Amino acid sequence: MCPSSVVRALVVGLAIVMGGASAAGAEGFVWEAPDACPDARDVRLRIEHRLGMPIDGSVHGIEVAIARGANGFVARIDARGVTVADGVRTLTSAKCDDLADAVAVIVARLAREAREVKEAGAPAARAVDFAPPPPRRTPEFGGGVRMLGVSGVGIVPGIGIGGEVSAHVRRRARFAEVGVASWATSSSYLVEGAPGRVDVDLLSYAVRAGWSPQDKPLRGWLGAEYGTMGGRGVALVATQNGSARWMTANAGFSVAWQMSSHARLVGTFEVGVPIDRVRFVLAQGREIYRPSPAVARTAFGIEVGWP
């Protein structure tokens, strides 16, 4: 192809681009279409006819571009300036006039919806409170009853077992408790394997006071224990029965597992130092049993009460 033919083709193409399509804006409405299609003024009249009123700013931001396709004309309607839902859609038709009618129907509907939203006013954003909920108020006073199975060393001969019932009251993070414990009889033998022995039992009363935070399942205390330790000789010469005072200074702690709002499983550990160590001796003066200088015990059971 010669240079003159190239120049002539470019000039013809530019003329087609410049004169082959119409573009107009009406209140922000943009219409671009080939000359074979209705012009912008005609489309505007069709939209106003379907609206029943003149076009206003409700169509601002709607852009329509029509191009020739393989089977007629294709319209691309861009309404993202008005709505984000279904913002771009495409229509096709063999005749551009029919396509203009369909575009007018869609633009009129979008304009009507935009006007209704504007007249109703945008809904106020609902405030969302991200503040944490107020802390649950803990009652100032509380209390409960514990029923525990106990086991200890250094108190009665061997590994002692028994039971305890206690009751406590609480004010804020401080508590006071009283309890009574009964230990099963345990034996200390004069000679291992021989029948001669002394059977030892203990009934004691405890007072405890300490710290009981309501945001933690823990309790710690200092306390004292007072009671009577009894002994009975068995298969010994000139056997005698007797009893003596039992006193200890104690310290301990407990951990609780909540089962319901008023019931908990409780585990405790406590150590004590006997103030009066009871001595059990034979008639000849030989000692057959004496509690240890330090004692320890554990307990497990149920607590029923209020926070």
Do the domain assignments include residue 125? no
Residue 14 maps to a domain = no
Supply the pLDDT for residue 8. 39
- What pLDDT is attached to residue 210? 96
Q: Which domain holds residue 61?
A: 21-117
Residue 134: inside a domain, yes or no?
no
Residues 75 and 163 in one domain: no
pLDDT of residue 109: 84
pLDDT at 254: 96
pTM higher than the cut 0.75: no
Q: Which residues of the chain have pLDDT under 70?
A: 1-28, 56-61, 80-87, 121-138, 238-239
2 domain residue, yes or no: no
Number of domains, the chain: 2
Per the domain annotation, does 228 fall within a domain? Answer: yes
Sign of the CA dihedral with 261 first, then 266, 271, and 272 last: positive
Q: Residue 21's pLDDT is what?
A: 45
Task: Say how far residue 84 (Cα) sits from the centre of its chain.
Answer: 36
- Predicted pLDDT of residue 280: 87
**Are 236 and 186 members of one domain?**
yes
pLDDT at 225: 96
